[in-house]
Structure 1
Amino acid sequence: MADLIYEVHNHLARITLNRPKQLNCFSEEMIRLWTEALEDVRDNDDVYALLLSGNGKAFCAGGDVKAMAAGDGFFESHEDISSTALARKNSLWKGIQRIPLLLEEIDKPVVAKIHGAAVGAGLDMALMCDVRIAGESASMSESYFNAGIVPGDGGAYFLPRLVGRDKALDLFWTARTLKGKEAADMGLVTHCVPDAELDAFVEQYMEKLLAAPQQAMRLTKRAVVQGEQSSLRASLDLISSFMGIVTELDDYRQRTSALVAKMQRKAQ
């Protein structure tokens, strides 16, 4: 079977990493299929939300360390690119670094379901998502120093924005492992639930997103992301434009009418 499974059903897109024997560590095929799937999520109006998960015992073990040690590829290609630093840089740019750049273009909600190990770049793939839901026994580690490398996929950008600079550096420098609850307490994951409840919790969460006012949800995400990089005045200008747009939509009229009717019933 393919190293990654991409499906869309009832407006929900699912990306499932599918190398269970290798704990879903990356392959050239996986990265290629991943980028193609994200392009479809971005462009397909039938997709309302995206769920990322892994098959087998782990979410994702990150890069293929055996391939890297053999000089047989650096995430993007299995060609012999070990001769120059520039070739390795370009391999990252053409390969795994396309994923965070594509995610930045997606206004739809992206949720990661984390079970088992989420290690190195595997953890960073979850950090790039909007929301992370982890099981209590999930193990998360920024393990790059164990292999003597740096977080080349975007982890150095995403992690400090979630947990702060000091905690991010601590996690990179020590390569220590966090379990689900500690990761949630730190802000690394959004929700931590008992392992037995993880699947049901995530499915219910996705159902809420699918039932939400879609355009308002996408514009809110865009406003939050752009607001992180802009001034207050620019942020307020943007959100006032979005308010003008959403109040012209059927979602606004139907939902406000329903709220008024509900208030009237309670008053009777």
Structure 2
Amino acid sequence: MSDLLFTVDNGIARITLNRPDKLNAFSTEMIELWIDALQMIRDDEEIRVVVLAGNGRAFCSGGDVKSMTSGEGMLYNNTGVGDMVTTALARKNTLWKKVQRIPLLLQEIDKPVIAVIQGVALGAGFDMTLACDIRIAAKSTKISESYVKAGIVPGDGGAYFLPRFIGVDKALELLWTGDVLSAEEAKLLGLVTHVVADDQIDEFVENYIQRLVDGPQDVLRFTKRAVYQGLNMDLRTSLDMISSAMGIVTELPDYQEGVRAILEKRKPNFE
């Protein structure tokens, strides 16, 4: 079986991490397939929503600790054959060219990206969900920025995303301690969007993503761009950008349908 499953059906792209016996810890194959899937999603205009999930009893436990120590793993692969500088550079390059491409690609996708979290989401496994737009967690989920427990730094986005979600002090506390959070605790901090009973999460997710699939796609994409780009803009620049988007979307069929639906007091039927 492949370490990552990827399907597209009725405008919904589904990426499923598929190493359940390893709690979906990263492998070279998984990362390479993940990168390929994200590139396809980014460039395919027919895809409307992306769902990221894990197979089995975990979302993702991050790096494969056994492979880190054996020299077989891609995350911290000891491939250098000379002095320590060469080894450190090889590890850096492997991170940069492989696993770190995932959050970068996720940020390039202008469609809604939904992370479905269950079991455990640890270290880089959890950081990948922070690069998504919405995080829906099963109530029994446990979350940890566990890098410190392995004696490593947060190399996969935690140092970037966490302070933007919860502030510098809380981010450092989680990264320094590796404390384990329940799904409800993560939601209170703003790290999880929804917490759902374990036996109801599949139904909740399907209903949630269908609302997005049925929405006005260009509006959703322009809005996502406006929100993320606005984080790095002053107000004047953000307003200038969104006024351009408004000019474009009001010439599209979805705008006409939306206005008619409001006037006719019915649910809109967007293309």
Bucket of the pairwise TM-score, normalised by the shorter protein: over 0.9
Alignment pair present for 1:205 and 2:208: yes
Instruction: Tell me the secondary structure at the aligned position of residue 246 of structure 2.
Output: helix
Report if the CA contact (8 A) 2:49-2:113 is conserved: yes
Instruction: Tell me the secondary structure at the aligned position of residue 52 of structure 1.
Output: strand
Q: Distance in 2 between matches of 1:85 and 1:102?
A: 25
Q: What residue is the counterpart of 2:136 in the other structure? A: 133
Report if the CA contact (8 A) 1:73-1:80 is conserved: no
Please list the CA deviations of residues 63-96 of structure 1 after superposition, one character each: whole Å capped at 9, or x if unmatched. 01111112333428x6724752111111100110
Instruction: In structure 1, list runs of 5 or more residues that go unmatched.
Output: 264-268
Amino acid at match of 2:103: P
Q: What residue is the counterpart of 2:47 in the other structure? A: 47
Q: What residue is the counterpart of 2:244 in the other structure? A: 241
TM (norm. structure 1) is 0.95
1:160: Cα distance to partner? 1.2
Q: Distance in 2 between matches of 1:58 and 1:111?
A: 16
1:120: Cα distance to partner? 0.4
Alignment pair present for 1:80 and 2:79: yes
Pairwise mapping of residues 129-168 of structure 1 onto structure 2 (< 5 A)? Answer: 129-168=132-171
Which 4+ stretches in 1 moved above 6 angstroms? Answer: none
Report if the CA contact (8 A) 1:20-1:55 is conserved: yes
Q: Distance in 1 between matches of 2:126 and 2:30?
A: 16
Instruction: Tell me the secondary structure at the aligned position of residue 108 of structure 1.
Output: coil
Deviates more, 1:65-74 or 1:46-55: 65-74
Q: Distance in 1 between matches of 2:234 and 2:2?
A: 44
Please report the RMSD computed on the Cα atoms of aligned residues, expressed in angstroms.
1.3
Please list the CA deviations of residues 88-119 of structure 1 after superposition, one character each: whole Å capped at 9, or x if unmatched. 11110011010111111110000000000000
Q: What residue is the counterpart of 1:112 in the other structure? A: 115
Instruction: Tell me the secondary structure at the aligned position of residue 16 of structure 1.
Output: strand
Amino acid at match of 1:182: E
Q: Distance in 1 between matches of 2:209 and 2:167?
A: 28
Q: Distance in 2 between matches of 1:59 and 1:104?
A: 20
Change in CA separation of 1:79 and 1:170 when aligned onto 2, cut-off 3 Å: closer
Q: Distance in 2 between matches of 1:27 and 1:168?
A: 27
Report if the CA contact (8 A) 2:23-2:56 is conserved: yes
Q: What residue is the counterpart of 1:5 in the other structure? A: 5
Alignment pair present for 1:60 and 2:63: no
Q: Distance in 2 between matches of 1:130 and 1:196?
A: 23
Instruction: Tell me the secondary structure at the aligned position of residue 95 of structure 1.
Output: helix
1:133: Cα distance to partner? 0.4
Please list the CA deviations of residues 153-195 of structure 1 after superposition, one character each: whole Å capped at 9, or x if unmatched. 1111011111111111111111011111111011010011111
Report if the CA contact (8 A) 2:79-2:90 is conserved: no
Change in CA separation of 1:65 and 1:81 when aligned onto 2, cut-off 3 Å: farther
Pairwise mapping of residues 240-259 of structure 1 onto structure 2 (< 5 A)? Answer: 240-259=243-262
Q: What residue is the counterpart of 1:266 in the other structure? A: none
Q: What residue is the counterpart of 2:269 in the other structure? A: none
Q: Distance in 2 between matches of 1:166 and 1:74?
A: 31
Q: Distance in 2 between matches of 1:2 and 1:46?
A: 25
Report if the CA contact (8 A) 1:4-1:34 is conserved: yes
Please list the CA deviations of residues 104-148 of structure 1 after superposition, one character each: whole Å capped at 9, or x if unmatched. 111000000000000000000111100000011100000000100
The count of corresponding residues between Structure 1 and Structure 2 is 262
Instruction: Tell me the secondary structure at the aligned position of residue 13 of structure 1.
Output: strand
Q: Percent identity, please.
A: 58
Alignment pair present for 1:218 and 2:221: yes
TM (norm. structure 2) is 0.94
Amino acid at match of 1:173: W
Amino acid at match of 1:85: A
